[in-house]
Chains A and B, each alone.
Chain A
Amino acid sequence: GAGVSQSPSNKVTEKGKDVELRCDPISGHTALYWYRQSLGQGLEFLIYFQGNSAPDKSGLPSDRFSAERTGGSVSTLTIQRTQQEDSAVYLCASSSPRDGQALYQETQYFGPGTRLLVL
């Protein structure tokens, strides 16, 4: 697609349930990032994928959070046993290095996010 897409747009769940959030990056982008936007913490990094590997998971807040990426494309962020403090907007971004550039120099392009509300 032309941009990063995420689904669902909104998710309401009950405390203790598991949820899966999906991200489709821009076609051909090798790097994929997940961020979380919450009222208390602002925008914060969760995890980075290069291809199907996640070399940096340092932002995942607890072991209830996990993510995977398949085929170097779609990524799924899973939150197990959701808690009310997990309520936030989960944003996905992708990027790819141009010739001669390093990945950290590149712009990250964001999707519309998934708004998660845990009741």
Chain B
Amino acid sequence: AQKVTQAQTEISVVEKEDVTLDCVYETRDTTYYLFWYKQPPSGELVFLIRRNSFDEQNEISGRYSWNFQKSTSSFNFTITASQVVDSAVYFCALTRYYNAGGTSYGKLTFGQGTILTVHP
């Protein structure tokens, strides 16, 4: 069984502070994919990043960066110089290979989400 834990339920920061969102996962599979999604007040889940289990290279995209460490089963997300528009719920998710009906597919297992509030 897979499990994703986001221990931080809520985080509150002041604009321009850096903030790190933690994600720890459990899986018995050697091949899997990890994702981060952002859910603004509008409700839509917005895709941020995908990482496969064989690629531990950290990634930076603008103010966003991700730290994937297989040894600790963690996939943390950092926002540098946070802005009010970053306020949202952030979800970490995990999927592996599934097969049914002759096709492979992935169904996401989500963490409980972290509510990030950035104050001006």
Contact = CB atoms under 8 A, between A and B. Distances in A.
Interface of A: 31, 33, 35, 42-45, 48, 50, 53, 55-56, 59, 89, 91, 93, 102-113, 115
A55 B35 contact: no
B110 A42 contact: yes
Contact of B97 (A48, A59, A104): A104
Interface of B: 33, 35, 37, 42-47, 50, 52, 91, 93, 95-98, 100-113
Given A35-B108, A56-B107, A112-B44, A104 B33 contact: yes
A112 B91 CA distance: 15
Nearest to A103: B105
A104 B108 contact: no
The main secondary structure of chain B at its interface with chain A is strand
The main secondary structure of chain A at its interface with chain B is strand
A104 B96 contact: yes
Nearest to A110: B45
Contacts of A50: 101, 103, 105
Nearest to A108: B108
A103 B104 contact: yes
A105 B95 CA distance: 8
A112 B32 CA distance: 26
A55 B99 CA distance: 9
